[in-house]
Structure 1
Amino acid sequence: MRKLIYGMNLTVDGYVSAPGDDIGWGESSDELFQWWLDQERAISLFLYGRRLWENMSAYWPTGDQQPGATPAQIEFARNWRDTPKVVFSSTIDKVDWNARLFTGDAIAEITRLKAEDGGPMRVGGATLARAAMRAGLIDEYEIVTHPVLVGDGKPFFGALDGWSKLNLVEARTFSGGVTLSRYETRR
């Protein structure tokens, strides 16, 4: 059975984006970017909701060709292009960059993918991830908290049908006051 990981950058008040899908509040550093790259290299399949897919596919296909791209950004772009992806959406018609489009029941498909042999999967996009969370499919949370309050926006967590107990497996502080808390779901 494959592991399903949900991890994103978020604000202290728990939002992955401010109103208007604004993510300009993040504290960027080479150290944090390198950590994300190391995590992404271990993923064998990305699962994207539409909005995150649109954001990622607008930049990363050519991220390694951007002026001033760091070695980590170059490697991130290459890894992103090479890693298989599933995009869950009923409103777009086509995806590319080593991705396939899935328009059916997202939870049924994620459950099917989890049951397969293979390396870890990462679910991205708060709406898709919250549905997987509610279905009890998330095995690990990577919570990268930035020292900012935005007051409103798209939350990282959503309503659950019951409690989900977690075990802390890693805690770390990056430059700029960004913190990582990585948890595994107790089964």
Structure 2
Amino acid sequence: MRKLIYGMNLTLDGYIAAAGGDIGWSGPPSRELFRWWLDHEQASGLSLYGRRLWETMSAYWPTGDQQPDATPAEIEFARHWRATPKVVFSSTIDGVDWNARLVTGDAIAEIARLKAGDGGPMHIGGATLAGAAMRAGLIDEYVIATHPVLVGGGTPFFTALDSRVDLNLVETRTFPGGVVLTRYETRR
């Protein structure tokens, strides 16, 4: 069985995007934080995206390594991003590229099917998609990079749940700029 990991950058008040979908509050990550996310992504065997996060990622990373100011880590991330198999869940887009396939049907059934298979960990991104997986009890690990900023509203990292979920803290780390990374595993 594969592990399903939900991780993103978020504000201290718990949002992955401010009102209007603004993600500029995080600014560019420190080299150390970017490297941590790169290592985390390289450990992934499959990436699962909701439509909005897919549109954000696919707007930049297919050619991120070709940008004139790309750092070595960004070049490595872009190459890894293109090579990693991806599943995009959406009923509003017609197609996807860059080693991805589109699922327009029941996301929870497909995620459960993928989890039951063999392979490396799967990473899930996008608040709506991850929220549905949370409610279905499919998330095995949460990775939270909390930035020292309050935005007052927007897209929350966590969704409303039907029941309590107990977690075990497995890592805490502080990065430049006051970013605190925490990892929690779901207690089963």
2:12 matched residue in structure 1:
12
Q: CA deviation at 1:67?
A: 1.2
Q: Which runs of 5+ in 2 are unaligned?
A: none
* Structure 1 position 121 matched with structure 2 position 122: yes
* Structure 1 position 76 matched with structure 2 position 77: yes
Would you say how many aligned residue pairs link Structure 1 and Structure 2?
187
CA distance in 1: counterparts of 2:177 and 2:91, whole angstroms: 39
Residue type matched to 2:78 in 1?
A
After superposition, the CA RMSD in angstroms is 0.5
2:133 matched residue in structure 1:
132
1:179 matched residue in structure 2:
180
CA distance in 1: counterparts of 2:78 and 2:25, whole angstroms: 22
CA distance in 1: counterparts of 2:136 and 2:68, whole angstroms: 42
Query: What do residues 69-119 of structure 1 show as CA deviations (whole Å, max 9, x unaligned)?
Result: 000000000000000000000000010000000000000000000000111
Residue type matched to 2:25 in 1?
W
CA distance in 1: counterparts of 2:127 and 2:145, whole angstroms: 14
1:153 matched residue in structure 2:
154
Query: What do residues 44-63 of structure 1 show as CA deviations (whole Å, max 9, x unaligned)?
Result: 00000000000000000000
| Partner SS state of residue 56, structure 2 | helix
2:67 matched residue in structure 1:
66
Query: What do residues 1-21 of structure 1 show as CA deviations (whole Å, max 9, x unaligned)?
Result: 000000000000000000111
2:38 matched residue in structure 1:
37
* Structure 1 position 104 matched with structure 2 position 105: yes
Q: CA deviation at 1:161?
A: 0.8
CA distance in 2: counterparts of 1:110 and 1:69, whole angstroms: 33
Residue type matched to 1:25 in 2?
W
2:25 matched residue in structure 1:
25
| Partner SS state of residue 164, structure 2 | coil
Stretches (4+) displaced over 3 A: none
CA distance in 2: counterparts of 1:29 and 1:178, whole angstroms: 9
Q: CA deviation at 1:40?
A: 0.2
Residue type matched to 1:89 in 2?
S
CA distance in 1: counterparts of 2:125 and 2:61, whole angstroms: 15
2:91 matched residue in structure 1:
90
Residue type matched to 1:124 in 2?
G
CA distance in 2: counterparts of 1:37 and 1:43, whole angstroms: 10
CA distance in 2: counterparts of 1:160 and 1:19, whole angstroms: 22
Residue type matched to 1:13 in 2?
D
Residue type matched to 2:155 in 1?
K
Taking structure 2 as the reference length, the TM-score comes to 0.99
